[in-house]
Structure 1
Amino acid sequence: MRLPKSLIDGHWRFRRGIHAADREHYAGLAKRGQAPLAMVIACCDARVDVSAIFSAEAGDLFIMRNVANLVPPYEPTGKYHGTSAAIEYAALVLKVPHIIVLGHSHCGGVKAYREGLKGKPDDTTFIGPWLTLLDGLDVKENEIFEYGQEAAFELAAIRQSLANLRTFPVIRDSETTELLALHGLYFDIASGELLALDGGGDHFVALPES
């Protein structure tokens, strides 16, 4: 089966438009390597276009996507730790100054957990166990009242991922020495609004204009 025509056409629009107009920038990226401003840990959800949300150009963001934008705790055991490897690479090798956990509205992963999947046997092999990372969520009553239960769970998941980030020694040390800042953001798909976790980590507020 061929690649969908819309993707082929889209690629050629990119080649003839965006890439051709900024060929020097892309050539520089290829030669110099990457030095992103931030790592973004986002959901796989196709409705969440990370680069578009920030009007970011190629090379600006080091993006890690997984189901429900989750971060596992530091656990150097086993064989395969894709999210943890990306975090380590961003902090240790790229030395990004910012790591953003970007949650979003109407998250299917958080919804599945909220509705009772929680690692129970079902017809999936990996999703249920992955969602057990949400066990012990601190869902705040005031956020249920302000944003609704669905959003309150999604906001709590962002806090949990930030807490798990801080279990990584390289993250904890870099944050302590102010070489790295952690941020929690929440994207509302319908309105386009971003909420940001305040400095105290207690409340999400609308992201102000700079």
Structure 2
Amino acid sequence: MAAYPDFPPRLLRGYSAFRENRLPHESARYRILAEAGQRPRTMLVGCCDSRAAPETIFDAAPGELFVIRNVANLVPPYDPDGEYHGTSAAIEFGVMGLKVRYILVMGHGRCGGVQAYMASRDAPEGADLGSGAFIGKWISLIAPAEQLVCEDPVDAAERQRALEFASVRQSIENLRTFPSIKNLEEIGEIELHGAWFDISTGELHVLDHETGHFNIAAP
């Protein structure tokens, strides 16, 4: 392989391993995807946290998942105001263009975005938390989720996990503010689901639509 001194060496090593090990087994699938286009059945809204990669967690093949990742796996409410909306644009494409059957919002444990929201919420007025030009505004989308917290945990870790769960519930509710999703769900052509991944144990917790609680998925 040619030397590229300015390119991250770890990525080149990973690409080399992909070419040698995985690509030979997936080459036919890649050719079909290139010629026929992608038709994933599932769209997944996940966090950009490097520890919670959906394709790894679900052992997904190329073309299986249409993945949207952002800070804290948030879905904003439908708001076509003429501004830039990357997450909403991707959702629109997945629903209208790819015609996905399932939409899954997946949170995860120890989420830095949720932690930052809690820190900003609990900080003294006027405190500078260094949230930058964009993050503070983005994570404010978590605020309505506080009304959806089902548990009444005691310690900080449990409070954060409860809010991580609630934020997934809130994002699902926000998905229903998109007219196309609301209509498709009502006629049974699209399903909305929630999940939460425990980074420390590797366990997946799935949202029970009837109870609103998250239960560990059976392997």
Q: TM-score, normalised by structure 2?
A: 0.89
Q: 1:4 aligns with which of 1, 8, 11?
A: 8
> Which residue pairs with 1:66 in the alignment?
70
In structure 1, what is the Cα distance between the partners aligned to 2:208 and 2:190?
A: 16
Q: Corresponding residue for 2:140? A: 132
Query: Residue type matched to 1:142 in 2?
Result: E
Q: CA deviation at 1:93?
A: 1.1
**RMSD of the alignment, in Å?**
1.9
Q: Distance between the aligned counterparts of 1:52 and 1:143, measured in 2?
A: 32
1:74-93 pair list within 5 angstroms: 74-93=78-97
Deviations 1:94-121 (A, max 9, x none): 1100000000000000000011269x76
CA distance in 2, matches of 1:41, 1:143: 26
Deviations 1:69-96 (A, max 9, x none): 0000000003211000111111111110
Deviations 1:130-173 (A, max 9, x none): 11111222253526269811100100110110110000001101
Q: State the alpha-carbon separation in 1 of the partners of residues 188 and 150 from structure 2.
A: 32
Question: Residues 38-187 of structure 1: matches in 2 within 5 Å?
Answer: 38-116=42-120, 123=130, 124-137=132-145, 138-140=147-149, 142=151, 144=153, 148-187=158-197
**1:29-44 equivalent positions in 2, closer than 5 A:** 29-44=33-48
Residue in structure 2 matched with residue 198 of structure 1 by the alignment: 208
Whole-angstrom CA distance in 2 between matches of 1:74 and 1:97: 20
C-alpha separation in 2, matches of 1:145 and 1:172 = 36
2:37 & 2:121 partners in 1: Cα distance? 41
Contact 1:117 1:128 in 2 (8 A): no
C-alpha distance in 2 between matches for 1:141 and 1:103: 16
Cα gap change, 1:145 to 1:205, in 2 (>3 Å)? farther
Q: Which amino acid aligns with 1:57?
A: A
Greater shift in the superposed pair: 55-64 or 18-27: 18-27
In structure 2, give the amino acid aligned to 1:33. Answer: G
Distance apart, 1:122 and its partner CA: 5.0
Q: What is the one-letter code of the residue matched to 2:205?
A: L
User: Deviation digits for residues 31-86 of structure 1, max 9, x if unmatched?
Assistant: 01001020000000000121111111000000000000000000000321100011
Q: 1:194 to 1:66 in 2, by over 3 A?
A: same
* Cα pair distance change 1:143/1:98, threshold 3 Å: farther
Amino acid at match of 1:135: A
- The 8 Å contact of residues 71 and 161 in structure 1, kept in 2 or not, is answered as yes
* Aligned residue pair count: 208
Q: Which of residues 10, 17, 23 in structure 2 aligns to 1:13? A: 17
Q: Distance in 1 between matches of 2:90 and 2:16?
A: 30
Q: Percent identity?
A: 42
